[in-house]
Amino acid sequence: MMKTGKPNTQKNQQGVAAIEFALTISVLLVICFAIVSYGMLMWTQQKVSHIAGDSARVGLQQSIQGNALYAQEACNHAKVMVATDFILKDFAEAPKFCDFKQVACSWDSKQKCLQLTIAVTVDGLPLVNMVQAVGNLLSKDTDTKSWIPSALSATSTVKITDL
């Protein structure tokens, strides 16, 4: 006599939940990792902008005090600020880290301004290398420069006052 009842489907479903969990958690972890990595890039950009602005203010203070090397003092201040930062500390000695020039002010060409630019490359930042590697795995195009910046920079301009 043959059994005509329902087949035992529990045997066929063993391990399916574990496979679904593994697939889902891997996608969620990649998304979470991307959010954290881009957040770090934005945070670092904010730090670079702050350092540029603060260093330009130091250049302004030095020019008011009569220091002829006010622009170099501004860059020295930027190097000190970067050296004390736990993420940016390795970038202070990079060439073209701090670039300054005296320019005509955009609002009045008769006035002189100090234009200070701080630039760091993102290659040495902790999470960025991993993001680039994941991007290369997921993308057919190996050029990840279109969606990950290669450098972060900020420019600050202050009017120089000669007393």
Q: What is the pLDDT of residues 64-115, one digit of tens each?
A: 998 889 999 999 999 999 888 888 877 767 777 889 999 998 888 888 899 9
**Residue 103: CB atoms within 10 Å:** 14
Instruction: Record the tokens describing residue 14, joined without a space.
Output: 């063993």
In a domain, 47, yes or no: yes
pLDDT exceeds 60 at position 1:
no
7 within domain boundaries: no
C-alpha closest to that of 158 among 120, 117, 123, 98:
117
Average pLDDT over residues 24-36: 87
Assess if residue 85 is contained within a domain: yes
Alpha-carbon gap, residue 7 to 3, rounded angstroms: 9
133 falls within a domain: yes
What's the whole-model pTM score? Answer: 0.76
Predicted local confidence at residue 8, as pLDDT: 60
In a domain, 8, yes or no: no
Nearest residue to 58 (alpha-carbon basis) of 45, 76, 43:
76
Question: What is the total count of domains within the chain?
Answer: 1
Residue predicted with more confidence, 82 or 161: 82
Distance CA 132, CA 81 (A): 28
Task: Evaluate whether residue 56 is within a structural domain.
Answer: yes
Answer whether residue 65 is part of any domain: yes
Domain that holds residue 134: 16-159
Average pLDDT on 151-163 reads: 84
Whole-number Å distance between alpha carbons of 151 and 94:
12
- CB-based contact 82:92 (threshold 8 Å): yes
Tell me, yes or no, whether 1 lies in a domain: no
End-to-end alpha-carbon separation of the chain, Å?
111
